[in-house]
Chains A and B, each alone.
Chain A
């Protein structure tokens, strides 16, 4: 889910915001900052949780592959 959720929240959502070139009042930069950094923090937290959850499996996989020098 993370690749698509990340793309949706970081790529798609901001493109829908009205900007200075349009008639609608544009989004305040401080609001945009809050949004971008909040999503960032959430994504990092999710990635951290995923790492904690899968690190043992990945460890077994890497050890089995014999790719470690």
Chain B
């Protein structure tokens, strides 16, 4: 029979043993001994078992008895992170060491420009999130005490005893944490005494749970096969967990491993060697597997053996007691006690560091008139702040326990805490992997995630008409239906945990990324971002430097003594002075020295506070070459990107302009095509109509006299000729335009060509015109296609004869040589071409006259094409004496001329 007094005595002996172990470890660490054990991977891995709290020890069995295998998700999440994602943790550890961070709040604050606002937010969120967890530990201890108390007192004063137990356990834990967590301001915030005590407790709880498990499987069930049979025959024999809940719980527990302040404390802050993390990547999952191995058998046997109404959270105790195994029950009690106490100690330690560094110290710095210059030992302020924080945190846990009545299932309370701290994850991971993450984004994400967690998970956990009224549960906040805490935005049917995790984490992440994208980081944020994201490239120091004068050394010394302690500070200064080759005088406060000092101070009071304190004394921050390089690199990338964008933009603008021009040209060509088709139709239709009309008259009118018949036949004939000429011209123009013409270039005398043209033109026209020439000037040898050139000249002479409106028409053909060119000008004495028509005369179907005998308007278009093919130029020149066509021809050698005569 285990009496309550015996239980208390064993507990006191156990706690005294822990005190002794912690004390010896602290002393060994101070004397620089015992490093093989204190800094061993075994102790590191065992310290990670702080994850396994009373929830794991008692609550997991209760969880399994209620929900089957679902309990294992709480172990699978951390195992998944350790096995598969340990390199993410390694990055955290490296950053933690490089930046001398003291807590998860410190890390987030340091990443986002050493923002004290973020540090305060994370601290408050962590305290609120972890308080239910501390209450859970107190609840588990009091529940376990109540088991022994009920058997000892017969249940008479059980309630009084358990309430007292909760209070005294809380007081004892506060005392232990104060004694071993705030003995001094240890550089790097390592607490060897606490860690070794946690490692011892890890062994105790593992041995205790395994012992109960072995007893249940082989002592009660009769073996492994029988145990499996019992499982299959139990009321939890089948798989009941929904996929969404299974996934959400694994995600939640994986996030908790990284974000829980106590896990950050042991995993990052207390880490001595990164290689320990790699060993823990398989050793810690092994520990978790061992802790969860017998959970289902204990639950199944408990369900079978214990009377209905027994709290399944306590099967670990009640099953051995029911079988008369008092010693085993005592061991199990110690295991549960260890689980609860180790968690509360480390969690309180981590939270008190956060509270003192990020809340109390900044307030003190603000209120103290002279801030960091004030005389007196700042260490006392910090230590008092931490002790006050420890008392405050444990008091909050105790109050939560009393407020919640201590009746909730342990697992449900634990999940609430996990959900709260999981809100750090987007800012934490975004900060170490994404340089674009900003403080504003982190504040936005954390705020929205915390508010949603509070509204959908924490406050509903108190039940209707407690923190939230039943009306809010039923109708939503302010009667708005889509603000119901368990059916946010009108989404119903989700498991409450899945619902809360989904909305809080997804909106947290969304706000974090979107706001980060649309906000601009401060220079310090950018520098810190570069340091965090590229931690493996340069992890030797913090992100910025300082500029200091020699006069600041004494002030720095005074401040350092008050934070680090006189001897530690003096040793630090002497060591750095010696490094600088100075003996008996303080070191010069070079940027490197001040950086090192800031890191040292940050290990005690946090990055933000250390930064602020040094800033008060030194004032100016300078950027190191490495930082400048990082910023320059980033700026260069931005500039290059901008330049590329600009180039692309220019190219796009140019392309758009070309497209616009091409479009205009296409439009013009389309219009020309339409005009051409219209013209050609008209030109073809006119003679065809005449031919058709007169041929019909000849066919149908019998009384025509021979004269009329002859006249009509002549008209048909001339129209047919006109049609033929039109088609010939079109064909000729088409051939010229398509470049399919073959030129027959040879040496010709220009005079012969002109002579031929004049003769032909005069012969084909009935109108007389005087033509004036200077035959001597025409004596020029050209290498060209004589027939094509004559065709052009004939057209020009014919036009002159046809359109010159002078009473006595005269055409002057003048030839002039100019360097490599020969210019032939055809000038008549008529009124010329009207100014508004001059630009059109070389276009197809451009006719200026309107007489019946006019051509199709293709002549000058053909002339232009021919001259172009011959390598020359033709244009119309208006002068005082009348209209003038000027033909410029190239007088070249055979070889050059051949090249020039190639089709364009």
How far is the CB of B186 from the nearest CB of chain A, in Å?
A: 12
Collect the chain B residues with CB atoms within 8 Å of residue A16's CB: 243
Question: Most chain-B CB neighbours within 10 Å: which of A7, A41, A54, A67?
Answer: A67
Question: In the complex, which residue of chain A has the Cβ closest to the Cβ of B240?
Answer: A20
Question: In the complex, which residue of chain B has the Cβ closest to the Cβ of A17?
Answer: B239
Complex interface bits, B295-334 against A, C-beta within 8 A gives 1, otherwise 0: 0100000000000000000000000000000000000000
A68 with B231, Cβ < 8 A, contacts A3-B85, A11-B250, A15-B246 known: no
Collect the chain A residues with CB atoms within 8 Å of residue B278's CB: 51, 54-55, 58
Per the bound structure, the CA–CA distance linking A39 and B228 in Å amounts to 18
Question: Most chain-B CB neighbours within 10 Å: which of A14, A16, A66?
Answer: A14
Complex interface bits, A22-55 against B, C-beta within 8 A gives 1, otherwise 0: 0000111110110011001101101110110011
Majority-rule SS of B interface residues? helix
Collect the chain A residues with CB atoms within 8 Å of residue B286's CB: 44
B798 at the interface (CB under 8 A from A): no
Interface Cβ pair total, 8 Å cutoff:
127
Collect the chain A residues with CB atoms within 8 Å of residue B296's CB: 29, 33
Per the bound structure, the CA–CA distance linking A55 and B79 in Å amounts to 20
Are A47 and B285 in touch, CB under 8 angstroms?
yes
A10 with B239, Cβ < 8 A, contacts A29-B232, A67-B97, A67-B539 known: no
Q: Which of B231-265 contact A (CB under 8 A)?
A: 231-232, 234, 236-244, 246-247, 250
Majority-rule SS of A interface residues? helix
Are A51 and B239 in touch, CB under 8 angstroms?
no
Collect the chain A residues with CB atoms within 8 Å of residue B6's CB: none
Question: In the complex, which residue of chain A has the Cβ closest to the Cβ of B237?
Answer: A29
Are B243 and A62 in touch, CB under 8 angstroms?
no
How far is the CB of A48 from the nearest CB of chain B, in Å?
A: 4
Per the bound structure, the CA–CA distance linking A23 and B244 in Å amounts to 18
Are A65 and B83 in touch, CB under 8 angstroms?
no
Collect the chain B residues with CB atoms within 8 Å of residue A20's CB: 238-240
Collect the chain A residues with CB atoms within 8 Å of residue B12's CB: none
How far is the CB of B388 from the nearest CB of chain A, in Å?
A: 30
Q: Which of B24-32, B269-277, B503-511, B666-674 touches A?
A: B269-277
Collect the chain B residues with CB atoms within 8 Å of residue A58's CB: 274-275, 278
Question: In the complex, which residue of chain B has the Cβ closest to the Cβ of A59?
Answer: B275
Question: In the complex, which residue of chain A has the Cβ closest to the Cβ of B537?
Answer: A65
Per the bound structure, the CA–CA distance linking A62 and B272 in Å amounts to 12
How far is the CB of B862 from the nearest CB of chain A, in Å?
A: 76
A67 with B84, Cβ < 8 A, contacts A10-B76, A29-B68 known: no
Partner of A32, one of B239, B250, B279, B536: B239
Question: In the complex, which residue of chain B has the Cβ closest to the Cβ of A48?
Answer: B282
Are A3 and B80 in touch, CB under 8 angstroms?
yes
How far is the CB of B532 from the nearest CB of chain A, in Å?
A: 14
A43 with B285, Cβ < 8 A, contacts A30-B228, A36-B76, A69-B188 known: yes
Question: Most chain-A CB neighbours within 10 Å: which of B79, B97, B244?
Answer: B79
Collect the chain B residues with CB atoms within 8 Å of residue A40's CB: 76, 79, 285, 289
Partner of A44, one of B240, B250, B285: B285
Partner of B274, one of A3, A18, A21, A62: A62
Are B94 and A47 in touch, CB under 8 angstroms?
no
A32 with B84, Cβ < 8 A, contacts A11-B246, A19-B242, A51-B281 known: no
Collect the chain A residues with CB atoms within 8 Å of residue B68's CB: 29, 32
Partner of B293, one of A14, A29, A32, A37: A37
Per the bound structure, the CA–CA distance linking A59 and B649 in Å amounts to 50
Partner of A69, one of B83, B231, B272: B272
> How many chain B residues have a CB neighbour from A under 8 Å?
46
Per the bound structure, the CA–CA distance linking A1 and B104 in Å amounts to 29
Q: Which of B95-110 contact A (CB under 8 A)?
A: 97-98
Collect the chain A residues with CB atoms within 8 Å of residue B97's CB: 67, 69
Per the bound structure, the CA–CA distance linking A28 and B243 in Å amounts to 16
Partner of B250, one of A10, A17, A67: A10
Question: In the complex, which residue of chain A has the Cβ closest to the Cβ of B285?
Answer: A44
Per the bound structure, the CA–CA distance linking A27 and B239 in Å amounts to 5
B138 at the interface (CB under 8 A from A): no
Per the bound structure, the CA–CA distance linking A51 and B275 in Å amounts to 10
Are B279 and A3 in touch, CB under 8 angstroms?
no
How far is the CB of B660 from the nearest CB of chain A, in Å?
A: 51
Per the bound structure, the CA–CA distance linking A2 and B243 in Å amounts to 22
Question: In the complex, which residue of chain A has the Cβ closest to the Cβ of B297?
Answer: A33
Question: In the complex, which residue of chain A has the Cβ closest to the Cβ of B236?
Answer: A29
How far is the CB of A22 from the nearest CB of chain B, in Å?
A: 10
Collect the chain B residues with CB atoms within 8 Å of residue A10's CB: 76, 80, 250
Per the bound structure, the CA–CA distance linking A30 and B231 in Å amounts to 6
A21 with B240, Cβ < 8 A, contacts A59-B275, A67-B274 known: yes
Per the bound structure, the CA–CA distance linking A41 and B710 in Å amounts to 117
Question: In the complex, which residue of chain A has the Cβ closest to the Cβ of B229?
Answer: A30
B540 at the interface (CB under 8 A from A): yes
Partner of A21, one of B72, B242, B250: B242
Are A32 and B80 in touch, CB under 8 angstroms?
no
Question: Most chain-B CB neighbours within 10 Å: which of A4, A16, A62?
Answer: A62
Q: Which of B62-91 contact A (CB under 8 A)?
A: 68-69, 72, 76, 79-80, 82-85
Are A29 and B79 in touch, CB under 8 angstroms?
no
How far is the CB of A26 from the nearest CB of chain B, in Å?
A: 4
Collect the chain B residues with CB atoms within 8 Å of residue A54's CB: 278
Question: In the complex, which residue of chain B has the Cβ closest to the Cβ of A68?
Answer: B273
Question: In the complex, which residue of chain A has the Cβ closest to the Cβ of B273?
Answer: A68
Per the bound structure, the CA–CA distance linking A40 and B286 in Å amounts to 8
Are B240 and A51 in touch, CB under 8 angstroms?
no
Are B232 and A30 in touch, CB under 8 angstroms?
yes
Per the bound structure, the CA–CA distance linking A29 and B72 in Å amounts to 12
Complex interface bits, B351-365 against A, C-beta within 8 A gives 1, otherwise 0: 000000000000000
Collect the chain B residues with CB atoms within 8 Å of residue A43's CB: 79, 83, 285
Are B282 and A51 in touch, CB under 8 angstroms?
yes
Partner of A41, one of B72, B240, B244, B289: B289
Partner of A67, one of B72, B94, B228: B94
Collect the chain B residues with CB atoms within 8 Å of residue A21's CB: 240, 242
Collect the chain A residues with CB atoms within 8 Å of residue B285's CB: 40, 43-44, 47
Per the bound structure, the CA–CA distance linking A62 and B279 in Å amounts to 14
How far is the CB of B169 from the nearest CB of chain A, in Å?
A: 33
Collect the chain B residues with CB atoms within 8 Å of residue A4's CB: 84
Collect the chain A residues with CB atoms within 8 Å of residue B231's CB: 29-30, 33
Per the bound structure, the CA–CA distance linking A21 and B240 in Å amounts to 7
Collect the chain A residues with CB atoms within 8 Å of residue B289's CB: 37, 40-41, 44
Collect the chain A residues with CB atoms within 8 Å of residue B250's CB: 10-11
Partner of A2, one of B76, B83, B237, B536: B83
Are B243 and A15 in touch, CB under 8 angstroms?
yes
Question: In the complex, which residue of chain A has the Cβ closest to the Cβ of B538?
Answer: A65
Partner of B238, one of A28, A36, A46: A28
Are A19 and B241 in touch, CB under 8 angstroms?
yes
Per the bound structure, the CA–CA distance linking A10 and B281 in Å amounts to 17
A47 with B282, Cβ < 8 A, contacts A37-B289, A41-B289 known: yes
A46 with B239, Cβ < 8 A, contacts A29-B232, A37-B289 known: no
Per the bound structure, the CA–CA distance linking A10 and B84 in Å amounts to 12
Are B241 and A14 in touch, CB under 8 angstroms?
yes
19 sampled A-B residue pairs with Cβ under 8 A: A6-B83, A11-B250, A15-B243, A26-B240, A27-B238, A28-B237, A29-B236, A30-B228, A33-B296, A36-B72, A37-B289, A43-B79, A43-B285, A44-B83, A44-B282, A44-B285, A50-B281, A51-B282, A62-B273
Known A10-B80, A18-B239, A19-B239; further 19 A-B contacts with Cβ < 8 A: A2-B83, A6-B84, A14-B239, A14-B243, A20-B240, A29-B68, A29-B234, A30-B232, A33-B69, A47-B282, A48-B282, A51-B282, A62-B273, A62-B274, A65-B536, A65-B540, A67-B94, A67-B274, A68-B273
> Which A-B residue pairs are the 10 nearest by beta carbons?
A15-B243, A3-B84, A47-B282, A27-B239, A26-B238, A48-B282, A2-B84, A20-B240, A47-B83, A6-B84
